[in-house]
Amino acid sequence: MSRSILFLVFLSLLAAPASYAANLPAVINLSLSADLPSNGLQELAITNETGSSNGCSAMYEVCDTLAITNWTLTLTYTSTFYNNPTPVLASPYVLHWQNSGDNILATAAKTLDFDLCNGASVSSCTTPTTVITRIDFTGTLDQSSFAIFDPAANGGTGGPGPTFFANPTFSVTLTPTGDYPGNYFESTDGYVADQAQNVVAPEPGSTLLLLIGGLCGGAARIASRAGARKIFS
Summarised one tens digit per residue, pLDDT across range 185-194 is 999 999 999 9
Q: What is the mean pLDDT of residues 41-59?
A: 90
Structure confidence at residue 56 (pLDDT): 86
The lowest-confidence range among 109-123, 141-155, 204-218 is: 204-218
Give yes or no: residues 170 and 233 share one domain: no
Residues whose CB is less than 8 angstroms from the CB of residue 37 and which lie 6 or more positions away in sequence, other chains included? 43, 113
Give yes or no: residues 137 and 152 share one domain: yes
Give yes or no: residues 219 and 196 share one domain: no
> Given pLDDT bands bounded at 50, 70 and 90, which one contains residue 121?
very high
> pTM for the whole thing?
0.74
Greater pLDDT, 204 or 64: 64
Residue 33 domain boundaries: 21-200
Residue 207 has pLDDT above 70, yes or no: no
Give yes or no: residues 59 and 112 share one domain: yes
Residue 24 has pLDDT above 80, yes or no: yes
Q: What is the mean pLDDT of residues 101-111?
A: 93
Q: What is the mean pLDDT of residues 100-115?
A: 94
Give yes or no: residues 35 and 14 share one domain: no
Give yes or no: residues 2 and 107 share one domain: no
Give yes or no: residues 87 and 3 share one domain: no
Give yes or no: residues 113 and 132 share one domain: yes
Structure confidence at residue 197 (pLDDT): 66
Give the residue from 83, 77, 62 showing the smallest Cα distance to 112: 77
Give yes or no: residues 124 and 169 share one domain: yes
Cis peptide before 92 (omega within 30 of 0): yes
CA–CA–CA angle 197, 162, 146 (5° rounding): 70
- Compute the distance between CA of residue 145 and CA of residue 13 in angstroms, rounded to an integer: 30
Q: What is the mean pLDDT of residues 89-97?
A: 93
Give yes or no: residues 69 and 30 share one domain: yes
Phi then psi for 127, rounded to 5 degrees?
-135, 105
The lowest-confidence range among 75-89, 116-130, 148-162, 199-213 is: 199-213
Cβ neighbours of 80 (radius 10 Å)? 14
> Given pLDDT bands bounded at 50, 70 and 90, which one contains residue 34?
very high
3-state DSSP assignment of residue 130: strand
Give yes or no: residues 179 and 210 share one domain: no
Radius of gyration of the chain (CA): 27
Count the domains in the chain.
Answer: 2
pLDDT in tens, 51-81: 977 778 988 999 999 999 999 999 999 999 9
Reading phi first (left if > 0) and then psi (alpha if -120 to 50, else beta), residue 219 is in: alpha
Give yes or no: residues 89 and 126 share one domain: yes
Structure confidence at residue 140 (pLDDT): 98
Cβ neighbours of 170 (radius 10 Å)? 21
